[in-house]
Chains A and B, each alone.
Chain A
């Protein structure tokens, strides 16, 4: 009975540790969503979250931090809907779709727009059948982390600069397909947890014959390859009723290489961003409901990014696991 209880708890903790992994997406137009990873022994999961992103300056092409123009107040809100489903004991798939609201206010201009963001379709393979979360390390095998291999296709369902838009304030997506290869390592030795995730993405080249509503001479554009990593550490407190509260801190690094235009590198493109995050997650005793609050903060100092907005993101979400 005790072993079964521990097994259930371990599965639940794996859910808690793995379901909240996020990969941040672009600005200057485009939106973010959550890649869902289903806990072991569960069949499906629904995830709903709301993001509030506040822009606070940016890093220029030299990596120097620059304030937004005086009086600028730029925000984005996102409603993210996600669904994950188990396909086989080690295989699962998920879809996430954001809806994006842009609120841009300058001293001489205000524009509020909204629309669907880019959709993410993911498939994950779990390396091991057994749960890798342990209470004690008694042998070297106890240190083996849970390993997930994944692939994500970003589908450009959002509004991009290449759609029939009035200007950049309408943008909710990048307008490009992207294929990501994902790796997720997670190790829990209760009550501690460490997670490392990495993804490498390649955009597909696309023809462009329109920019911001104007027809232009057709050309081919391809954004540069993208690397995204996240390292996080967490601690879980259990109540007497076995509800849990997990606090996690993380460091994320995002880099995208320069785009090409008709095969020629665009020196004005490419980006880099480093950010820190803190998450609180509350789970019910059966771990079927998880409520999360995340604050992601980009450091507004020189050298912490390049060619990219500096933002704070607050996310509130809830996941429901279907057994």
Chain B
């Protein structure tokens, strides 16, 4: 019955989970190329914030009007896992780096679709007025640009190089990358 069921639904890509691989399959990256993978340069983007301001990535990179030492993007849909991650970032990671340069911590809301709804979600989850800026990715263009999903964290260096782009997991990679970037 099991075999028949699987055949019926044409599920041909089961081995990823049934026999998972530990091979490193990351493709080689050309330094200086534009893209979403670590080692590549993040393309510039502009999004509205939840308080109706505008966030332009290049403004926070080297040469920008508000140049910072790192930009952290976290992609949220305001779900339990998302909140567990962003709470952990807020309570455990951010405090470690206060006083060490300047970091932009941004929650990228890719489900709300409007400034008003994103603001409501941000407020309901206790982040209004916090160190996070919430970006409204209404068309999911930035999500697609970084090939992101729920829980993806991206760290961008001042020269636009992507340092990490992966699931947040336990925040260790974020902590290590900020430790390497900040003075």
Contacts and interface: CB of A to CB of B under 8 A. Distances in A.
Interface of A: 28, 58-62, 66-72, 81, 83, 95, 97, 99, 106-109, 115-116, 119, 155-158, 160-164, 166-168, 173, 175-176, 206-218, 220, 261, 264-269, 271, 307-309
B113 A109 contact: yes
Contacts, number: 180
A210 B170 contact: no
12 contacts: A70-B121, A83-B1, A108-B112, A156-B17, A157-B18, A158-B17, A166-B149, A212-B149, A268-B85, A268-B88, A271-B80, A307-B81
- Candidate in A69, A168, A206, A265 with the most chain B CB atoms within 10 angstroms: A69
Nearest to A158: B17
B23 interface: yes
A111 B183 CA distance: 42
Contacts of A207: 20-22
A97 B13 contact: no
A154 to B, nearest CB: 11
10 interchain residue pairs of minimum CB distance: A108-B113, A207-B22, A212-B149, A156-B17, A106-B111, A268-B84, A167-B149, A266-B170, A69-B121, A168-B150
Given A71-B117, A109-B113, A209-B23, 20 more contacts: A60-B87, A69-B120, A71-B112, A95-B2, A106-B111, A107-B111, A107-B112, A107-B113, A108-B117, A156-B17, A164-B13, A167-B149, A168-B149, A176-B17, A207-B22, A211-B167, A218-B23, A261-B170, A268-B81, A307-B80
B118 to A, nearest CB: 8
B23 A269 contact: no
A69 B149 CA distance: 17
Interface of B: 1-2, 5-6, 9, 11, 13-14, 16-18, 20-27, 37, 77-81, 83-85, 87-88, 92, 110-114, 117, 120-121, 124-125, 138, 140, 147-152, 165-172
B83 A160 contact: no
- Candidate in B81, B85, B165, B171 with the most chain A CB atoms within 10 angstroms: B81
B113 A116 contact: no
A268 B120 contact: no
A155 B18 contact: yes
Contacts of A68: 78
A70 B75 CA distance: 18
A214 B111 contact: no
Nearest to B110: A109
Contact of B125 (A66, A158, A162, A168): A66
- Candidate in B13, B17, B113, B114 with the most chain A CB atoms within 10 angstroms: B17
Nearest to B37: A214
Contact of A107 (B6, B117, B165): B117
A157 B81 contact: no
A162 B80 contact: no
- Candidate in A66, A158, A173 with the most chain B CB atoms within 10 angstroms: A66
Contact of B167 (A59, A161, A206, A267): A161
Contact of B20 (A97, A208, A216): A208
Contact of B84 (A60, A106, A116, A175): A60
Nearest to B22: A207
B66 to A, nearest CB: 27
Contacts of B121: 69-70
B17 A160 contact: yes
A43 B20 CA distance: 36
Given A68-B78, A164-B13, A106 B170 contact: no
